[in-house]
Amino acid sequence: MPLPTLASMMLALVQLSFTIGLGLAVLHRTRCPVPSPLGEGGLACFLGVGTLGFATLLLGLAGHCSALELRVLMTILAVVTWPLTAQWLRRFGPAARPWRGEIPALVVGGVLFALLLLHAALPPLAYDVLEYHLAVPRIWMRAGEITPVAGNLFSHQPFTAELNFMLSLALGNDALPSVPKLFNVAGLAAALSLVLAFAIAKGLGRGVRGPAALLVLATPLIFRISTDALVDIWVVLGVLAAIHTWHRWVQRRHFGALFVAALCLGFLVTIKHTALAFWVVPILGLFLWTILAHRLCPPEWIMSALALLTVALLPVIPWWVKEWAWTGNPIYPLGYGLFGGEGWSEAQARLLVGGHGLRSPLGGDFWISLWHRLDVFGPCVLSATVGVIVLARRRHIRGLVGPTLVTGIAAMLLWNLLGGGADRFMAPAVALMIPLGMGGLWTAVVWCRGWFGRAQARWGTLAALAPVIEMALRIGGGHFEFTMYLSAVAITLLLPLMGRRAMPSRLVGWAALVPAALLALLVARGEFILGDETPVDRLAWVMGQSSRGEVTRGFWHIQAFKYLNEIEHPEGEVLLVYEARTFNLDAPAVCGTVFDGQPLREFVRGAESLDQVFERLRAAGISHVMVNRAEAHRLMRFYFGLPPDAPLTPDTVRPLWDFPAPLTEAEYHLMVEFDLWAAESAQFSRGGLVSVARLPE
């Protein structure tokens, strides 16, 4: 393995070490009862991420978040927290010994995790990652302070996970951009540890613990959000952490568990504002169920609710105060109807809501969208189906499935409403479906034991997951046809019955070879996970046999940024037209997201000629212009309803130019002239769609 890939993995492990150590310190201070080192590690990871995000926010607002200052902070944390991390590792070793019997699940899980690392080691290429998840932290780190980023409304959102990515960027610098992606894989590992800890706490048998973790690992949506620098895997981890600690409070009535559960809820909102929905529906449902099941007296219920709300607001308030000071809106850019917002308009708020698919729950597109999105839950939904079918017959899983069924379905509906165009917004609902899936798996194991015996039960249960794992790997992003979905349901439900009637019991164990054979076939055909690169291409990158340029050869805007980065003496800033993914650009950029509007509009407004536009650009310190017409076509299709086969002309792009306020005819013609000049004067061009031009003297 080449040095850059190995160094990225080692730096991600270093960051994970002091993150867990800081979280362990929080757990020890609160004296939260944790039943096993597995659950302790998962909780500590999420608490560490939240605490580090909070500390980095305060440092950045004080003007102390340069790369050097962050490295000093991480060095101190690594030294101070290592004794706690070392103690946890010593406790973790003996606790892992009983899992040696889960060989089938460990083998398949190891293969899936290797594929995860293979994808995570690639440079970041996802759209949102290059636009703000990594781009904004990189801008803040270079500036040495946290300030509003002009032309990027996402810089106003809660950025706890992104501030942890900033620590990753400070560790890896520009030479190792995959460190944040590898750190995200650590978040998935922490989520798996909480799943296993929850399985132990619920008394699920050894034959189901490993496959329960595979439910999460093989879910297409989880697979996708864990392999890039997206924040959604941390939301999943936070939901699991909140449920886990809430369960401990119900069992022990320990204030430390309630405090940590509330802290997890607060950190959730500092990662993503949409997590506020998790406060309303699932937690309210679990809370009411706890009250009814355990018959809490009103004073105890009221005091617990007040304590939960007070502690949950503690990490959220600084983010809201910051936004109130910056824009006058604590949840900017959301809530325009309630709070307004400086530099924000009703048209922009409407596009933000419509573009992200916040639709009426009674609309037909909402239910169609929900139906087509069931595939992203993959095996979680399939095994949950088994659990629901036998719910009335199996008394011992009622307590596990009952409240989660109601809250899980409610969360699926709510996150589909909020998510709209992005499946990954529904990731928290996956976390709520996990207990259902474990209940279904436990039922399958009970059935198999009655027919085949204990040894074959593990292999039979694992084999039932084989077609689902195969689809999770074969289909990029998890979208598969409805007929394939029904086939997976049928195979998953009928495989134990088929095994009993059609083959001797000793042959059922051989069914575990199905996942291995499918994986070998898929690797040979190059059909797994995401992107157009084959596994050989990705392995070549990880092993240092291909360059970054070869991996990004299809991303023309990155090639244009590479050209700009290689200019020896850049005279000034770069104006980006139709483009906002600035992570790979070293020079300062003037740009705007589709919601902010094109910054070129401000230079064209009121101008009488193209020369006057050039003069204004030079006065603003701009020396080069990059135009990405391919991105303009995508934005028009996604946000303004342009048909996919419509040609790219000035008339078809005009709605993008007229947003958020229409241009005059003279200004519109100046925009057309500018676009023609950028194409004709290009010093760098790809396909006539992406061009870089230098402003005339």
Query: Bridge partners of 573?
Result: 622
- DSSP run (H or E) holding 692: strand 690-694
- Name which of 40-44, 216-220, 258-262, 681-685 the model is least confident about: 216-220
Tens-digit pLDDT profile for residues 135-147:
999 999 999 999 9
| Nearest of 196, 277, 269 to residue 234 by alpha carbon | 269
- Name which of 38-42, 423-427, 549-553 the model is least confident about: 549-553
Give the orientation angle of helix 454-464 with respect to helix 206-217, to 10 degrees: 10
pLDDT (0 to 100) of residue 643: 86
Does residue 389 surpass a pLDDT of 60? no
Does residue 448 surpass a pLDDT of 80? no
Reading the block at residue 17, the tokens are: 């070490």
560 vs 457 pLDDT, higher one:
560
pLDDT (0 to 100) of residue 568: 60
Q: Are 260 and 242 a contacting pair, CB within 8 Å?
A: no
Coil/strand/helix, residue 343: coil
Q: How far is CA 193 from CA 59, 95, 240, 412, in A?
A: 31, 12, 10, 23
pLDDT (0 to 100) of residue 47: 95
Q: Residue 547: what are its φ and ψ, rounded to 5°?
A: -90, 165
CA distance 127 to 120: 15
Tens-digit pLDDT profile for residues 239-257:
888 888 877 777 777 788 8
Coil/strand/helix, residue 135: helix
Q: How far is CA 439 from CA 10, 36, 180, in A?
A: 37, 21, 34
Q: Residue 348: what are its φ and ψ, rounded to 5°?
A: -70, -40
- Name which of 214-218, 377-381, 565-569 the model is least confident about: 377-381
> Cα 301 to the chain's mean position, in Å?
34
Q: How large a percentage of the chain has pLDDT more than 70?
A: 63
235 vs 356 pLDDT, higher one:
235
Reading the block at residue 86, the tokens are: 């070392």
502 vs 16 pLDDT, higher one:
16
Does residue 671 surpass a pLDDT of 60? yes
pLDDT (0 to 100) of residue 25: 93
Report the number of secondary-structure helices (H) and strands (E) in the chain.
34, 5
Does residue 166 surpass a pLDDT of 90? yes
Reading the block at residue 283, the tokens are: 């937690």
| Nearest of 3, 4, 2, 18 to residue 174 by alpha carbon | 4
Mean predicted confidence (pLDDT) in 312-330: 91
555 vs 389 pLDDT, higher one:
555
pLDDT (0 to 100) of residue 644: 79
pLDDT (0 to 100) of residue 551: 47
Taken in order 410, 411, 415, 416, the sign of the CA dihedral is negative
Q: How large a percentage of the chain has pLDDT more than 90?
A: 27
- Name which of 195-204, 219-228, 325-334 the model is least confident about: 195-204
Q: Which residues of 599-628 are buried (b: 16+ CB within 10 A; e: fewer)?
A: bbbebbeebeebeebbebbeeeebbbbbbb
Would you list the DSSP string of 410-422? HHHHHHHHHHTT-
Which residues are CB-neighbours of 471 under 8 A, at least 6 positions away? Answer: 220, 378, 478, 480, 484, 488
Q: Is the peptide bond before 435 cis (omega within 30 degrees of 0)?
A: no
| Nearest of 540, 533, 542, 538 to residue 5 by alpha carbon | 542
Taken in order 56, 60, 64, 70, the sign of the CA dihedral is positive
- CA diameter of the chain: 86
CA distance 345 to 350: 9
In single-letter form, the type of residue at position 656 comes to L
Would you list the DSSP string of 472-508? HHHSGGG---HHHHHHHHHHHHHHHHHHHHHS-GGGG
Does residue 615 surpass a pLDDT of 90? yes
Q: Is the peptide bond before 315 cis (omega within 30 degrees of 0)?
A: no
Does residue 121 surpass a pLDDT of 90? no
Q: How far is CA 59 from CA 9, 64, 152, 349, 514, in A?
A: 26, 5, 21, 31, 52
Q: Residue 644: what are its φ and ψ, rounded to 5°?
A: -60, -35
pLDDT (0 to 100) of residue 117: 82
pLDDT (0 to 100) of residue 304: 76
pLDDT (0 to 100) of residue 282: 53
Does residue 177 surpass a pLDDT of 70? yes
Would you list the DSSP string of 406-463? HHHHHHHHHHHHHHTT-GGGGHHHHHHHHHHHHHHHHHHHHHHHHHH-HHHHHHHHHH
297 vs 623 pLDDT, higher one:
623
Tens-digit pLDDT profile for residues 43-57:
999 999 999 999 999
| Nearest of 412, 450, 452, 459 to residue 431 by alpha carbon | 412
Q: Which of 61-75, 266-280, 388-402, 493-507 has the highest mean pLDDT?
A: 61-75
Tens-digit pLDDT profile for residues 332-382:
888 888 888 888 888 888 888 765 444 444 444 444 455 555 556 665 655
Coil/strand/helix, residue 366: helix
Q: How far apart are the first and last CA of the chain?
A: 49
Mean per-residue pLDDT over the chain, rounded? 74
Reading the block at residue 515, the tokens are: 């996942």
Does residue 484 surpass a pLDDT of 60? no
Mean predicted confidence (pLDDT) in 482-510: 40
365 vs 696 pLDDT, higher one:
696
Q: Which residues of 351-386 are buried (b: 16+ CB within 10 A; e: fewer)?
A: bbeebbbbbeeeeeebeebbeebebbbbbbbbbbeb
Does residue 66 surpass a pLDDT of 50? yes
Does residue 132 surpass a pLDDT of 50? yes
pLDDT (0 to 100) of residue 142: 92
CA distance 482 to 162: 36
570 vs 646 pLDDT, higher one:
646
CA distance 608 to 323: 38
- Name which of 168-182, 348-362, 421-435, 602-616 the model is least confident about: 348-362
pLDDT (0 to 100) of residue 649: 85
pLDDT (0 to 100) of residue 622: 92
pLDDT (0 to 100) of residue 322: 93
Q: Residue 692: what are its φ and ψ, rounded to 5°?
A: -125, 130
pLDDT (0 to 100) of residue 417: 54
Q: Which of 107-111, 512-516, 644-648 has the highest mean pLDDT?
A: 644-648
> Cα 650 to the chain's mean position, in Å?
36
CA distance 494 to 31: 46
CB-CB neighbours of 508 under 10 Å = 24
CA distance 122 to 96: 31
Coil/strand/helix, residue 569: coil
Q: Are 24 and 77 a contacting pair, CB within 8 Å?
A: no
pLDDT (0 to 100) of residue 506: 41
Does residue 619 surpass a pLDDT of 50? yes
